[in-house]
């Protein structure tokens, strides 16, 4: 399956690409995980690679006003299967296979940099921020 009109789907919700700075989209699929790997006395790496691989997906948002940011964040929050863990199911476009992959991910802490404040019109302008999804 090739690209199908979205980069990321949280739960059943496709994140609108209007919020995503396309050039910042990064998918790092199937990251190998080691357990107790070490270098032997000759300095040769002895790896114990686990069967489970974990993917990471990240992108920067576009700069946006507070009401747009609230709408964007609600799309993510409303799909949490565990709010405490910020856990959700994720489908993401995987460039190396030109296909979509799925998994259970969590959202690490998100910084919200403010670019400027318009007190007269009650508007906060947020600068671009990085959103990450890390697979369990």
Per residue in 67-87, pLDDT tens?
999 999 999 999 999 999 999
Question: Is residue 29 over pLDDT 90?
Answer: no
**Residue pair 121/136 in contact by the 8 Å Cβ criterion:** no
Beta bridge partners of 103: 90
Pairwise CA distance, residues 126 & 57, whole Å: 21
Torsions phi, psi for 17 (to 5 deg)? -65, -15
- 88 burial (CB, 10 Å; 0-12 / 13-18 / 19+) is buried
Question: Is residue 19 over pLDDT 80?
Answer: yes
Residue 30 binned pLDDT confidence (cut-offs 50, 70, 90): confident
Torsions phi, psi for 18 (to 5 deg)? -65, -20
Residue in the structure block whose two tokens are 């974990």: 54
């Amino acid at each position: 399956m090739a690209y199908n009109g979205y980069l990321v789907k949280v739960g059943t919700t496709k994140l609108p690409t209007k919020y995503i700075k396309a050039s910042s989209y990064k998918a790092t699929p199937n990251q190998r995980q080691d357990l107790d790997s070490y270098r032997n006395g000759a300095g040769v790496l002895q790896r114990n690679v686990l069967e489970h691989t974990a993917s990471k997906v990240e992108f920067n948002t576009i700069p946006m006003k507070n009401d747009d940011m609230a709408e964007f964040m609600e799309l993510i929050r409303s799909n949490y299967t565990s709010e405490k863990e910020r856990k959700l199911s994720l489908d993401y476009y995987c460039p190396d296979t030109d296909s979509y992959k799925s998994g259970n991910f969590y959202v690490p802490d998100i910084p919200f940099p403010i670019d400027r404040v318009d007190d007269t019109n009650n508007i906060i302008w947020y600068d671009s921020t990085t959103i990450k999804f890390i697979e369990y």
